[in-house]
Amino acid sequence: MIRPPGFNYSAEVERALRDERPVVALESTVIAHGLPRPQNLETARRLEAIVREGGATPATIAVVGGRILVGLEPAQLEHIAASRTVHKLSTRDLPVAVARGWDGATTVASTAFAAARAGLSVFATGGIGGVHRGELPDVSADLPELARTSLAVVVCSGAKSVLDLPATREWLETHGVTVVGYGCDEMPAFYARSSGLPVDARCDSPAEVAALVDARRALSMRGALLVTVPVPGEAEVSPGFLQEVLDEALAEAEREKVGGRDLTPFLLARMAEQSDGATLGANLALLESNARVAAQIAVALK
């Protein structure tokens, strides 16, 4: 196995790649910036355990001391979860982090980039970024990375509910990102199981997803296959209540002049508070569900 310059593999991931066993990439921003402590570390460990239970090897990706780590040792995972000086790194930030020796947690965009560069095929996350609300065009770096990365599959629960979902769906269509509904005919809306927005194809098994991946490879298509999995029904937040707490969070963000890369984590945190933890519970449930599906797909691809 040829290791890309600047990349370091955990012993577990290196063995899995050498033996051509399935590996699932996991992001680290959700650990460092997306979940409250100590639940963030508990969740990170749980997601890795779910991937292992599914027959694949987890590869949580982060940057420590300027080194891009593909798979974290237990102490490194604890550091990313506990440190308050961990940078939030999108793709544009990776060269800065490497050059300056930063510690950083990778977003969907930078995790997808690093996973593909490291030779991985499957990546599981919670919700992707998308087109933000408002008049100024503001598109998450996640979207163009999905359109150009060489990953086979990205498993998620759609775009985060705080975004402009119709505009996000339109962007994906325009840029040729195939959206699959895993057991569903509409693209999920993160905390909610449906958005009213169509998918390009429905798959009901890992084997069906693998067949689509094979077809894309045969056609030499660029970009990832976006597999969207609805949040488990028992954890779904009702759309009416979801809109109510989102409106409150948006109003608070406007009052406090929160914007840019700080807006989404601010809104998600406020929605968790205003919903008495309902949105947080949905987030945890969909993260676990997506990790489980991603492991199954990774095994099917092998």
Active-site entry in 48, 160, 236, 288: 160
Active-site entry in 27, 48, 145, 236: 27
Q: Is 27 a catalytic residue?
A: yes
Tokens linked to 138: 């503001």
C-alpha span between 189 and 159 (Å, rounded)? 6
The dihedral region occupied by 223, where left means phi > 0, alpha psi between -120 and 50, and beta the remainder, is left
The answer to whether residues 183 and 199 touch, using CB atoms and an 8 Å cutoff, is: no
Q: Which residues contact 117 (CB under 8 A, 6 or more apart)?
A: 4, 7
Q: Which residues contact 299 (CB under 8 A, 6 or more apart)?
A: 22, 54, 55, 56, 206
Catalytic residues: 27, 160
